[in-house]
């Protein structure tokens, strides 16, 4: 039986996300394997809203997936949603690795992993599917870390499996406009204005 999604439902979904539709910007099943080379990541365009990457990592093939993108001036990277991590194994406690650095190449050699070269990273379970791991990644032990959204510039992501499993990933990068000075001033004002007593 065919399943029809009413157009109105799609429109409503779009309006909930502020008019920015989720877009699949890369799908390995159509676009080919993402780069294994940390010095030559696959370069992908992202834009305001939800930018979804669909890919598979495979220990048997030693498939690591590395891609780079540029956050444009006036925008920031404000979320990394793990839509799906499916390890295709009987053991749901199997972990996958995902991390990223600043720059248009990965900040470390995956063969000599040192978290100090990464802004952040996370080890994820299947149960993490559906959650935003941006803040979790910021607290990856030994990584540079960050506090809040990351500004304009290039970033490079790296996902990998270290067990003999083949994993399906669906990761959405959230790119939002940097709040204008007016909004920031209002927020500051709201924070410092003394309460009026009667
Ligand atoms: Ca792959
Ligand atoms: Ca690859
Ligand atoms: Ca693993």
Q: What is the pLDDT of residue 165?
A: 87
pLDDT for the residue numbered 180: 83
Assigned domain for 7 exists: no
User: Is residue 139 included in any domain, yes or no?
Assistant: yes
Distance 166 CA to ligand 3 centre (A): 9
Q: Where does residue 18 fall: left (phi above 0), alpha (psi -120 to 50 degrees), or beta otherwise?
A: left
**157-196 tens-digit pLDDT:** 999 997 888 999 999 999 999 988 777 777 777 766 555 5
Which residues of the chain, if any, have pLDDT below 70?
A: 1-21, 60-61, 191-198
Contacts of 138 (CB under 8 A, 6+ apart): 119, 120, 145, 146, 147
What's the confidence (pLDDT) of residue 13?
44
User: Which residues lie at CB < 5 A from ion ligand 1?
Assistant: 33, 55-56, 63, 65
How far apart CA 15 and CA 110 sit, in angstroms, is: 40
How far is C-alpha 106 from the geometric centre of its chain's CA atoms? 15
Q: How many domains does the chain have?
A: 1
How far apart are the CA of 101 and the centre of ligand 2, in A?
A: 17
Per-residue model confidence (pLDDT) at position 152? 98
Give the distance (Å) from ligand 3 centre to CA of residue 102.
25
User: 98 lies in a domain?
Assistant: yes
Lookup result for tokens 């780069």:
35
Tell me the ligand closest to 94's alpha carbon. Answer: 3
Would you give the DSSP letter of residue 35?
Answer: B
Q: Is residue 138 part of a domain?
A: yes
Cα(22)–Cα(93) distance, integer angstroms: 29
Confidence (pLDDT) at 136: 98
d(CA 120, CA 135): 9
Contacts of 67 (CB under 8 A, 6+ apart): 26, 34, 35, 41, 42, 43, 44, 53, 156, 157
- Exposure of 129 by Cβ count < 10 A (0-12 exposed, 13-18 middle, 19+ buried)? middle
Q: Which residues, by Cβ under 5 Å, contact ligand 2, an ion? A: 33-34, 36, 63, 65
Using the mean position of ligand 3's atoms as its centre, give its distance from the Cα of residue 97 in Å: 7
State pLDDT tens for residues 14-30.
444 444 568 999 999 99
Task: Show the domain range for 118.
Answer: 20-192
In a domain, residue 4? The reply is: no
> Residue 197 falls within a domain, yes or no?
no
Ligand 2 centroid, distance to 145 Cα (angstroms)? 25
């Amino acid at each position: 039986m065919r399943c029809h999604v009413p157009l109105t439902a799609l429109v409503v979904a779009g309006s909930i996300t502020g008019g920015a539709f989720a877009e699949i910007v890369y799908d390995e099943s159509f676009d080919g394997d993402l780069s294994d080379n940390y010095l030559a990541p696959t370069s992908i365009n992202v834009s305001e809203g939800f930018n979804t990457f669909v890919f598979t990592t495979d220990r048997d093939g030693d498939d690591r997936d590395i891609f780079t993108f540029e956050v444009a001036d006036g925008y920031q990277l404000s979320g990394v949603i793990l839509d799906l991590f499916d390890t295709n194994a009987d053991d749901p406690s199997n972990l996958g690795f995902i991390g990223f650095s600043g720059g248009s190449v990965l900040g470390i050699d995956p063969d000599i992993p040192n978290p100090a070269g990464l802004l952040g990273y996370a080890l994820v379970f299947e149960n993490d599917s559906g959650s935003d791991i941006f803040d979790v990644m910021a607290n990856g032990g030994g990584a540079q870390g960050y506090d809040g959204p990351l500004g304009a510039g290039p970033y490079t992501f790296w996902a990998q499996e270290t067990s003999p499993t083949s994993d399906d990933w669906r990761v959405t990068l959230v790119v939002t406009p940097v709040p204008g000075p007016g909004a920031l001033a209002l927020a500051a004002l709201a924070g410092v204005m003394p309460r009026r007593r009667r």
